[in-house]
Structure 1
Amino acid sequence: MYASHSRGRIYRLSLPLTAGACALVLVSGCSATESGTAAPKATTTASAPATAGDLQSAYQTVIKNVLPSVVQIEAPNSLGSGIVYDAKGHIVTNAHVVGDAKTFRVTAATGEKVLKASLVFSYPEQDLAVIKLDSVPSGLKPATFGDSQKVEVGQIVLAMGSPLGLSSSVTQGIVSAVGRTVSENSSGGGTGATIANMVQTSAAINPGNSGGALVDLNSKVIGIPTLGAVDPQMQDSAAPGIGFAIPSSMVRTVADQIIKSGKVTDSGRAALDITGRTVVDENYQPAGVALVSVAKGGAADKAGLKVGDIITRLDDVPITTITSLAEALASDKPGDKVPVTYLRGTTEKTVKVTLGEI
């Protein structure tokens, strides 16, 4: 299903309260140029238990340590999960869990009374958000976040959250891959975000798991479960064992900025400073991104790109759709200088663009 240049579907993992269907999103192909590049290998973060009894004990210890930090978040139109980020009552979750809501009902895994919380800031570009409890209960336990750069394929992980509204649920699996780039569909409740360096896991994650915790055997959060795959060949039924989590390093970067400044001040996300649309060729196949508007003084403008130009390649990556352009930019950083190939009329040109920032 996920061979090079193939496309599957994935869905967000919040649970709509008023409708049973989940929003569909697209997962990028796994070619090296698009999304299949793995993060640098690092030393294993947890040693394997010697026996089945040791493994069971390790699971129970992790659950005891982390589950009290995982909460259920109820917005007016959705139900998802969150992670207690600090002792001041900040909770990190997905932007698609909070949606357009400003206030929420939060229930801790310990089964305490429902708490009220308010939105601090939502950052749909990375599908992350921070909310804050209106009143901080005693004994609130923040989670410990690990270094997602040290995550390895094959590492045992647990997913914690509220799948299908079943609070305090735990599933287990392994890290199946790292370095995935995934694009959400903006319709049906998704944010439309293109997210780089996601952790792929076989741990069962379902609607309602969004915003919860993907945890290693050292009781450290290494990611936030956000998307799950479905198989279009099976009438869009769930594809077991294919889920994606936003890496903890990105979560911390975004959450720290939101808590400090009330917004994201340094996204680290590259941009061309344009709006565009996918164009098709004479065979009605996607063939590039036409520039609809170019921000004055932005990266594209400074490089001489104009409205009507059609981008066909970014560096050595073919660009056929607005999604493929977003995926290509996800691997770059603001300030990088990259060659952009485009058509102006019938003439193909290439120009070096110094990338801006979202």
Structure 2
Amino acid sequence: MAVSRALARARVHPPRVHPQRVRPRLLRASLALLAGAAVLVSGCSAGGTSSGSGPGRAKDTTTTQAAAPAAADDLQNDYLKVIKNVLPSVVQIQAGDALGSGVVYDDSGRIVTNAHVVGDEKKFKVTTAGDEGELSASLVYAYPEQDLAVIKLDKPPQGMRAAVFGDSSKVEVGHIVLAMGSPLGLSSSVTQGIVSATGRTVSEGGSGGGTGATIANMVQTSAAINPGNSGGALVNLDGQVIGIPTLAATDPELGNSAAPGIGFAIPASMVKTVADQIVKNGRVTDSGRAALGITGRTVVDARSQPAGVAVAQVKSGGAADRAGIEPGDVIVGLDGTAITSITSLSEALAADKPGDKAKVTYTRDGNRRTAEVTLGEI
């Protein structure tokens, strides 16, 4: 069995991201444009054994394929039904020299995807499932803080159907899921796995085209998530989109090569919250994300290890300002969680909501202090 080397020449640009609670480093599942990629797989067959009568020959045998168990047959039919119903709502997006995926959000031709897929582009080329023709689209709004964006087709084709988004709160570990998108530029591809975990808080690096977003309540899946899957659909067997595949894990001990079976999707409930605001208002008006109202930077100790977040600026009238936190203070804890970097602070805040009260531990002139802060909003 041979595979064309065209894929090996794909210009994939894996992003750099910061380590987080999930130990493996994370890789944005986006892809630099792959022109004319093709996979050539040779057929594999096994030779048969002749049979007949007479000395030295085996007796004639008749073999029949065992019938598949009913449960397996039903499962396969479920797969086929889901793919038939949902895949037409998953598109490929070309943004400049990068490729990603998207999901048709409504019948007006709006498509939801990742903010890191659209990048700084305002115009896009979209290819729908089963149609190699390119459609033009324009940016409606990108929200890097949650790594989500909405684009709109200039002329939606007749019969375009929006996907159905499910309730993320009903997603359970062990649920069978299908990931649909354009991995390595191979449009309308489908992979299969299960929900491996829920409630993951994951941070994406800000370098290499990443948004730097820290995203709470992500769905972890064993379904293959590869460059180009970003912005596609993670679908349950009811044909509902339960998440938008966004990140795949890599193993830093193996040269940041892919860690198979560890991918992350933004939960559908958050996707709907953000996309509905963009559709209604043209932007996000209520993030639902807690904030201290500071600009900070990671500081290191004498061993060059991250040791806290130095406050560079304080937003006037913001949460930190009202609590008496000043520029020059170094935040080292939030509600008992050690804060060593900007990433760890973002992850700690991701679990809170605007209006929640939090205890912030910080140092000033070498003295350790604690302040109760009523959190604001990003």
If the length of structure 2 is used for normalisation, what is the TM-score?
A: 0.84
| Identical amino acids, percent of aligned pairs | 71
Instruction: Return 5+ residue gaps in structure 1 as ranges.
Output: 20-48
Does 2:150 align with 1:134?
Answer: no
Q: Distance in 1 between matches of 2:152 and 2:352?
A: 32
Query: In structure 2, what residue type is equivalent to 1:290?
Result: A
Distance 2:212 2:134 in 1: 31
Partner of 1:92: 112
Distance (whole Å) between structure 1 residues aligned to residue 227 and residue 32 of structure 2? 8
Question: What is the DSSP-based 3-state SS (H/G/I as helix, E as strand, rest coil) of the residue aligned with 1:325?
Answer: helix
Matches of 2:144 and 2:184 in 1, distance apart? 23
Match of 2:291?
A: 271
Q: Say yes or no: does 1:232 pair with 2:248.
A: no
1:184 corresponds to 2:200? no
Q: Tell me which amino acid in the other structure corresponds to 2:27.
A: Y
The CA distance in 1 between the partners of 2:199 and 2:260, in whole Å, is 20
Letter in 1 for 2:195: V
- Structure 2 counterpart SS, 1:115: strand
Q: Does 1:245 find its partner at 2:249? A: no
**Residue 10 (structure 1) shift:** 1.1
Distance 1:340 1:88 in 2: 46
Q: 2-side partners of 1:341 and 1:232: how far apart?
A: 32
Q: Secondary structure at 1:188's aligned position in 2?
A: coil
The residue correspondences of 1:54-73 to structure 2 (distance < 5 A) are 54-73=74-93
Q: In structure 2, what is the equivalent of residue 7 of structure 1?
A: 23
TM-score by length of structure 1 reads 0.89
Please list, as runs of the form range in 1=range in 2, the aligned pairs for 1:268-307 lying within 5 A after superposition.
268-307=288-327
Q: Does 1:149 align with 2:169?
A: yes
1:105 aligns with 2:102: no
Q: Alpha-carbon deviation of 1:194?
A: 0.2
Per-residue deviation, residues 261-288 of structure 1 (Å, max 9, x unmatched)? 0000000000001010111112221111
Q: Tell me: CA distance 1:69–1:346, structure 2 relative to 1, closer, same or farther (3 Å).
A: same
Letter paired with 1:331: A
1:199 is matched with 219
Residues of 2 paired with 1:310 and 1:77: CA distance?
41
- Closer/same/farther in 2, CA of residues 50 and 318 from structure 1, 3 Å limit: farther
8 Å CA contact 2:21, 2:201 repeated in 1: no
2:96 maps to which residue? 76
Q: Which residue of 1 aligns with 2:139?
A: 119
**Number of the residue aligned with 1:322:** 342
Give secondary structure in 2 for the equivalent of 1:122.
strand
Distance 2:21 2:281 in 1: 40
Structure 1 residues 345, 81: CA separation in 2 closer, same or farther (over 3 Å shift)? same
Instruction: Report the 3-state secondary structure (helix = DSSP H, G, I; strand = E; otherwise coil) of the residue aligned with 2:208.
Output: helix
CA distance in 2, matches of 1:170, 1:225: 12
Matches of 1:356 and 1:258 in 2, distance apart? 21
Counterpart Cα distance in 2 of 1:77 and 1:122: 18
Q: Contact between 2:21 and 2:202, CA under 8 Å: does it hold in 1?
A: no
**Residue ranges of structure 2 left out of the alignment (5+ in a row):** 1-19, 36-68
Deviation at 1:77, TM superposition (A): 2.5
Tell me the amino acid that sits aligned with residue 220 of structure 2.
Q
* More deviation, 110-119/212-221: 110-119
| Number of equivalenced pairs | 326
User: Which runs of structure 2 are paired with 1:157-172 in the superposition (5 Å)?
Assistant: 157-172=177-192
Distance in 2, Cα, partners of 1:88 & 1:127: 22
Deviation for aligned residue 1:109: 0.7
Matched letter for residue 114 of structure 1: E
What is the rounded CA distance, in whole Å, between the counterparts of 2:265 and 2:129 in structure 1? 20
1:220 corresponds to which residue? 240
Give the partner amino acid of 2:83: I
Write the letter of the residue equivalent to 1:333. K
Give the letter for the 1:11 counterpart.
L
Q: 1:307 to 1:137 in 2, by over 3 A?
A: same
RMSD: 1.4
Matched, 1:343 2:363: yes
Residue 313 (1) aligns with residue 315 (2): no
Question: Partners of 1:326 and 1:95 in 2: how far apart?
Answer: 18
